[in-house]
Structure 1
């Protein structure tokens, strides 16, 4: 047989296997699944499902089967050069020439063409030749334990743990997002949303919940007028209901349930309104639950709101489906909400020595504003805001108009709720004039 024809056949098979290997390495799972779902061949669907269960293993198997074909093509090219020269056994010039031809052929057929195929038609090639991939996987079965042993050894030498694979995948996705953003295929907003979804497994309920001191809840009551006034003020459709304190949440009161009661037989029955009859049971989740787990539980239980319990069984806050959505799409504001990105107000009346500010203002911002007045609020790691300082100083939540003295400054609580400090005033007294020197006093005494 002409060695040239044999080399050509071996190179062709090697090129197909190289294209399959490159396609498996870069396969997009969802694309391959979609192609398989459109097929009427049940056998191909089963083969594709098996490949998707172990893509890396099938890629290694194809690479293993490809090796003897490429090696055989190189040897055949050496003999083909000798055959062209009319010599029986190849000599070293034949080996050099045949090796150079093999390198060029493998470069084109084993690198360039497979990369192009995997980029533009990789999933379709894997689907079309799924039988070849499965056959290669079966042929390489005896060598898989050896490959796995080498994999473990190299991983151990590199210091990577088995659970680093997920981190590697995440890094690859982020790298692809970076590249897509540079090329204009992905804008910054889309990138942020994808990253937020990826980090669902890392973020906890505690990080996204509405904290206890900001929860608007109503105490269990049957006073319909009081409930209506609270609903108008709170402007929420789902309101926590508590008994005595927020640590004893009775459930959630849905405004639509009250409207149904008013529009239905409840209002005409002559019986008094009882909030307990329409309060829905509260779903309780721990602070440590991940956002992804919370979303799955919300979907499974078909609820939109839950109580967040702290490690002692008390109420740490409230978390809603909207909180999860905002993790992906950013802050969602309705017509009743103030913009959260507005900085806390700090008003200074220097001529009066007075500063008034929102209690959520940062201590360093307040001190910057107080600097012209020659005063400062003590800073500490335990708190970041003026509200935090006031709570630390009082040791409790102060009432409106309570004040405390710090050097030349008087801090007064201008507005507070049972749960938090809202607004404060800092008044700085002028410095007292310095006393006359003692020497001057002695001179006065001698004059007498």
Structure 2
């Protein structure tokens, strides 16, 4: 009968040890999902995990009591039967049993099936925790004299969420696109306006002094929806005009003909932002002012580019192409070891497509990287090594910019097929 009691205490210790592992392994996200599905046991589990420190204290107290009681009873019984020799036998045997039966086996099982362990025992554990509540609270206050227990709360970090998304993608429970969007969300507040803007060199500007009819050929050719408006000189941007504002003028019946209506008369106000402005803040500013674009300036107040709401959204969902976008074949593969790319392509796209490691990725463009390496604008035909295995040849450009670049994998090209 005595050994049956010892075995019962060991099983109780194993149960409590398994519950400890199960509650630690049971994710809050899974619990919340079950709660939303109407699982009553999950509601109890959620309450218990909300006071996890007290729950763990209850489990550890019960487990310690069972281990000590089992050890004491077994030692007393063995001593009566075998004398002093029984102490050594019981100590060795009980230590092994507590380790295997009381810890390793239950914790391993519970960690693999935390939902089964926690949901089935939730009601009983809540009753035990309430019963031992005064004892646990007293111990907690005693510990609080030496340790600040209020800072013990744990929160899911950004890295943990990204890791969970990556693991979900590998397991097939999270779509690749969903995983990429999660990564983009966390990068969103680390990206500046300079990283996503359209450079000034690529902007199509309208002269505010010109008439609406005079700019129509330019807007038809460019096929953009919004155009910055300047007065006197291109650095003096004073507004933005939407293509629909121009078309609306065609449908309006006014005394002043379009041939006499100047662009500056129908333009809208524009906001100016520094290059260093984070796009997360800019996104909220666009929402607040109900605007879709902003002009980017450097520390000297010189215009350096234009950023639109679409640019920001693309950082979350990827490239967006509308019905007016033209496929410019930004990357063209010539052969296995050669590609031709536009100068304003971002390094990250080149590295991903060509399986290379050129420069520090981020949002830096290939042309900017080449300019930083050379310190000057190269002429057409100029060759330079970007890495030990990748050579760049300037295919097209002028005295102001690099338009097209040919990239060749030197080392790969010399390998035999």
TM-score band (shorter)?
Answer: 0.5 to 0.7
What SS does the corresponding residue of 1:389 show, helix, strand or coil?
Answer: coil
Residue 312 (structure 2) pairs with residue 319 (structure 1): no
Q: 2: CA distance between counterparts of 1:105 and 1:77?
A: 13
- Output one character per residue of 1:49-93: Cα deviation in whole Å (capped at 9) or x when no partner: 9967xxxxx545544443222222212222443576594998332
TM-aligned CA deviation for residue 305 of structure 1? 1.6
CA–CA distance in structure 1, aligned partners of residues 162 and 140 of structure 2 = 34
- Is 1:115–2:116 an aligned residue pair? no
| Aligned with 1:104 (options 96, 100, 103) | 100
Q: Measure how far apart 1:126 and its partner are.
A: 8.2
Please state if 1:294 is matched with 2:290. Answer: no
CA contact (8 A) 1:360 1:385 kept: no
Q: Determine the structure 1 residue equivalent to 2:68.
A: 75
Q: What are the equivalent positions in structure 2 for 1:377-392 lying under 5 Å apart?
A: 382=371, 388-389=377-378
2:5 matches 1:16: no
In the alignment, is the contact (CA less than 8 A) between 1:35 and 1:127 conserved in 2? no
Structure number with greater Rg is: 1
In structure 1, what is the Cα distance between the partners aligned to 2:162 and 2:196?
23
Deviations 1:223-275 (A, max 9, x none): 121132222122111211122234332222112233333324xx334475354
Equivalent residue, structure 2, for 1:352: none
Unaligned runs of 5+ in 2: 335-339, 346-368, 381-395, 405-417
Report the counterpart of residue 238 of structure 1 in structure 2: 226
Q: Distance in 2 between matches of 1:322 and 1:79?
A: 72
Which residue, 243, 254, 257 being the options, matches 1:268? 254
Aligned length in residues: 346
Flag the 1:113–1:139 CA change in 2: closer, same or farther, 3 A: farther
On the 8 A contact 1:212/1:316 being kept in 2, the answer is yes
- The CA distance in 1 between the partners of 2:330 and 2:204, in whole Å, is 21
Q: Which residue of 2 aligns with 1:439?
A: none
TM-score, normalised to structure 2's length?
A: 0.63
SS at match of 1:91: helix
Structure 1 pair 187–260 and aligned structure 2 pair: CA distance change class (3 A): same
Say if 1:169 and 1:104 are closer, same or farther in 2 by CA, change over 3 A. same
CA contact (8 A) 1:78 1:97 kept: no
Cα distance in 1 for residues equivalent to 2:217 and 2:20? 74
C-alpha displacement of 1:37: 5.7
Would the aligned equivalents of 2:331 and 2:341 in 1 still touch at CA under 8 Å?
no
**2:216 maps to 1:213:** no
SS at match of 2:378: helix
Structure 2 CA distance for aligned equivalents of residues 145 and 337 of structure 1:
69
For residues 394-405 of structure 1, the aligned pairs below 5 Å read none
Contact in 1 for aligned 2:75/2:90 (Cα 8 Å): yes
